[in-house]
Amino acid sequence: MPRAEPNSSLAAELWQTAHALADAARPVTLEHFRAPGLTADNKDAGGFDPVTAADRAAEAAMRAVLATRRPQDAILGEEEGLTPGTSGLTWVLDPIDGTRGYLSGTPTWGVLIALADEAGPLLGIIDQPYIGERFAGGLGVAEWSGPAGARALSSRPPRPLAESILFTTFPEVGTRADRAAFERVAERVQLTRYGMDCYAYALLAAGQIDLVIEAGLNSYDIMAPIAVIEAAGGMVTDWEGGPVHQGGRALAAANAEIHAQALAVLNG
């Protein structure tokens, strides 16, 4: 059964709220970025999963906006977890996607904002406060704004896997089996790059690259990129070709053709 999308009035309200969330998070993240003495707590006793004061403050700022504008909606945030709602809609927030990069002073971290129902994301924003770029997609919107102005988002047209550009965040990717599968694809593309976090998905939606392959994702890592990429004409699935909005292993592609090529190689 086709999904019933919000009417134009509600869609406009939801988009206004999404941009208000991004506007609220921007100054908070910039206040702490590259600040002397910035430190992080580790959320993973067996590894390194950092969280900073900026992560917590940015999510709090966005939650405050929702408490005023959309108190009936649920919220799922990386730092504060799930707050139930009554509307059937959930705002999925990652206040800083790429905290390791944020700690390191690199500008490719971002703020991820998505609005989802039971079927997955309806809209999404990938916002990069330091660069000043915002990528938005869903409910009839596919646009990119930044220092160079505003333009429509459109992913790359089909081309052979051997001519494509592939991104992932960590060379390890996931398990040993995940890494082996990723490396099968990496061996066949023209160029592989690492370490871009959510900015890689933004570049895919903007028509700069062809593929992003990652594993070990949470829903707040992938909800917004799905909405933005699909609005731009691309597609995002798990490594079996199914839905991935709940997290796991993601294959994001600029078009169905390059997706099919990469999926076949991933699965041997």
Quick one: tokens of 174?
């996931």
Strands 74-77 and 81-83 come out as antiparallel
Question: For residues 232 and 3, which has the higher predicted lDDT (pLDDT)?
Answer: 232
Q: b vs e for 67-89, b when ≥16 Cβ sit within 10 Å of the residue's Cβ?
A: eeebeebbbbbbbeeebebeeeb
d(CA 144, CA 131): 13
Q: According to the model, what pLDDT value does residue 41 have?
A: 85
Specify the DSSP element, H or E, that contains 69: helix 53-69
**Contact (CB, 8 A) for 233 and 255:** yes
Residue 268 has pLDDT above 90, yes or no: no
The string of DSSP letters for 198-240 reads HHHHHHHHTTS-SEEEEEEEEHHHHHHHHHHHHHTT-EEEETT
DSSP label at residue 190: S
Per residue in 86-126, pLDDT tens?
A: 999 999 999 999 999 999 999 999 999 999 999 999 999 99
Single pTM value for the model: 0.95
Residue 25 has pLDDT above 90, yes or no: yes
Q: According to the model, what pLDDT value does residue 2 have?
A: 62
**Contact (CB, 8 A) for 115 and 75:** no
Question: How confident is residue 77, by pLDDT bands cut at 50, 70 and 90?
Answer: very high
At residue 40's C-alpha, the angle toward residues 172 and 90, to 5°, is 75
Q: According to the model, what pLDDT value does residue 42 have?
A: 84
At residue 59's C-alpha, the angle toward residues 37 and 53, to 5°, is 15
Q: According to the model, what pLDDT value does residue 172 have?
A: 86
Quick one: tokens of 188?
């066949």
Residue 22 has pLDDT above 80, yes or no: yes
Percent of the chain topping pLDDT 70: 98
Residue 3 has pLDDT above 80, yes or no: no
Residue 71 has pLDDT above 70, yes or no: yes
Q: According to the model, what pLDDT value does residue 157 have?
A: 98
| Domains of the chain, CATH where assigned | 8-152 (3.30.540.10), 161-266 (3.40.190.80)
d(CA 116, CA 88): 9
